[in-house]
């Protein structure tokens, strides 16, 4: 496997790991790892570092929705142009062009279901190329970005019945 890919895999597992530890895990020098990181960041391969948050344990006033968008493009408009307009909104945390029954999958986050609904109806739906929106509110997250959100049961004793 390519050294840069191995480095990316380590960062995906734990982006808070220091370069000295990553170098040891990769069998490389700390300078080599720092150079690879600089290159990956400068060429845009690594666009940022973020925490994976279990919002149910942090803030009750946080809602995530997956919004399906169908588009009808004219000859002068591309998917990329519409995506640029949609991506500018702070409420949009992910935007994907997808195959299947709809064109875009948009992840929207806000402080309430009403705020998400208002955002979709007032900001997304009026975009001329958008012909249909379907909003799915996330009720519970079990896994996000490879991290499982499971309730941990510290009692590992086997249950015994009489």
Residue bearing the bigger pLDDT, 50 or 127: 127
Residue 96 to residues 54, 80, 87, 99, 107, Cα–Cα distance (Å) = 22, 10, 10, 10, 9
C-alpha–C-alpha distance, residues 71 and 104, integer Å: 8
Neighbours of 135 (CB within 10 A): 17
Q: What is the pLDDT of residues 47-85, one digit of tens each?
A: 998 888 888 888 668 999 999 999 999 999 999 999 999
For the chain, give the mean pLDDT. 91
pLDDT-derived band of residue 120, with 50, 70 and 90 as boundaries?
Answer: very high
Strand 130-137 relative to strand 143-144, pairing: unpaired
Residue 151 lies in a domain: no
60 & 132 share domain: yes
Question: Residue 68's beta-bridge partner residues?
Answer: 105, 134
139 & 59 share domain: yes
79 & 23 share domain: no
**In the predicted model, is pLDDT for residue 38 greater than 80?**
yes
Residue 110 to residues 20, 26, 31, Cα–Cα distance (Å) = 38, 39, 41
**In the predicted model, is pLDDT for residue 98 greater than 80?**
yes
Residue 16 lies in a domain: yes
pLDDT at 59: 61
Containing domain of residue 102, as a range?
55-143
Residue 20 lies in a domain: yes
Q: Could you report how far apart the first and last alpha carbons of the chain are, in Å?
A: 55
**In the predicted model, is pLDDT for residue 35 greater than 90?**
yes
CATH number at residue 77: 3.30.70.920
What is the total count of domains within the chain?
2
pLDDT at 46: 92
């Amino acid at each position: 496997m390519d050294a840069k890919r191995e480095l990316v895999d380590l960062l995906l597992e734990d982006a808070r790991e220091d370069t000295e530890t990553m170098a040891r895990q990769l069998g490389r020098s700390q300078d080599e790892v720092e150079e690879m990181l600089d290159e990956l960041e400068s060429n845009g391969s690594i666009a940022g570092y973020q925490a994976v948050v279990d919002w149910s344990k942090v803030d009750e006033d946080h809602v995530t929705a997956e919004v399906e968008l169908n588009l009808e493009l004219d000859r002068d408009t591309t998917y990329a142009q519409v995506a640029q307009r949609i991506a500018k909104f702070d409420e949009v945390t992910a935007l994907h062009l997808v195959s299947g029954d709809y064109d875009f999958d948009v992840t929207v986050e806000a402080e309430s279901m009403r705020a998400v609904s208002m955002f979709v109806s007032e900001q997304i739906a009026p975009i001329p190329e958008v012909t249909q929106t379907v909003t799915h509110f996330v009720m519970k997250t079990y896994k996000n970005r490879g991290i499982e959100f499971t309730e941990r049961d510290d009692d590992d004793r086997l249950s015994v019945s009489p």
